Amino acid sequence: MSSYFEARNLDVYYDKVKALSDVSMVLGEGDIVAIIGTNGAGKTTTLRAFTGLTRIATGEIWYQGKRIDQLNPDQIVGLGISMVPEGRHIYPLMNVRDNLLMGAFLRRDKAEVKRDLERMCERFPFLKERMRQQASTLSGGEQQMVAISRALMARPKLLLMDEPSLGLAPKVVREIARSILAINREDKVSVILVEQNSRMALKLSSRAYVLETGRVALEGASEELVNNEDVRRLYLGA
């Protein structure tokens, strides 16, 4: 596997509490990699470390042959890495259009930004009628689609997604899953997917990591982990 993205032996502390311990992960270009685990396992901390929002104490993070762990978050976005945060974190008092444009804040190609707004409306048709609507009035599923579209407005080559199905109805979860596959296959965007819906995450991904209390407990091909007895018992309800 080519190391398009690689985290090497990451340690992260919150004050004196160790949140990540010797975490290493690899993503090949064009892949979907899943990170699963229980609450408090370190999944969100891992993504925050990847994006520079949380500083690592030791270790290295590499992207396309460039070390990025000392860069600021905006510099990391500029390299082509975007994140859809847990809980969506859209701007509630802004309308939908302005929320999407926030994702393009580093871009100066106005014509292409306009074209990308149109593409977001093609991917999520409801956006076209809601562009002037205040984002806080949208349903949870619609807000999640706005959050995904906002991240895509940066034109990332690597998309990090933190619990995109959290709190959503099964029908919306299926739509989100289809969107993840389309983003990966049609837009040629690599994806790191953090999910408590482990069954969905393993189905969508080619490779997966299981985090337990800040450590990588298991890793391997997703189709193999689906059949792992411990994974089935602890994360798949089987």
What the chain holds in terms of domains, given with CATH numbers, is 1-80+158-238 (3.40.50.300), 91-155 (no CATH)
pLDDT at 1: 46
- The answer to whether residue 238 scores a pLDDT higher than 70 is no
Q: In this structure, what token pair is assigned to residue 85?
A: 């945060």
- pLDDT digit string, tens, across residues 124-177: 999 999 999 999 999 999 999 999 999 999 999 999 999 999 989 999 999 999
Taking Cα atoms as reference points, which of 58, 50, 147 lies closest to residue 94?
147
Please name every residue paired with 17 in a beta bridge, in sequence order, or none if there are none: 14
Q: Please calculate the CA angle 173-3-13 and round it to the nearest 5 degrees.
A: 70
| Cα within 13 Å of Cα(204), Cβ side | 33
pTM here is: 0.93
The amino acid at residue 237 is G
* Per-residue three-class SS string for the chain: CCCCEEEEEEEEEECCEEEEEEEEEEECCCCEEEEECCCCCCHHHHHHHHCCCCCCCEEEEEECCEECCCCCHHHHHHCCEEEECCCCCCCCCCEHHHHHHHCCCCCCCHHHHHHHHHHHHHHCCHHHHHCCCEHHHCCHHHHHHHHHHHHHCCCCCEEEEECCCCCCCHHHHHHHHHHHHHHHHCCCCEEEEECCCHHHHHHHCCEEEEEECCEEEEEEEHHHHHCCHHHHHHHCCC
**How far is it, in rounded angstroms, from Cα 119 to Cα 125?**
9
CA 29, 82, 64, 26 torsion: positive or negative?
negative
Give per-residue pLDDT as tens, 175-213. Answer: 999 999 999 999 999 999 999 899 999 999 999 999 999
End-to-end CA distance of the chain: 31
Mean pLDDT in residue range 76-102: 93
Does the pLDDT value for residue 2 go beyond 90? no
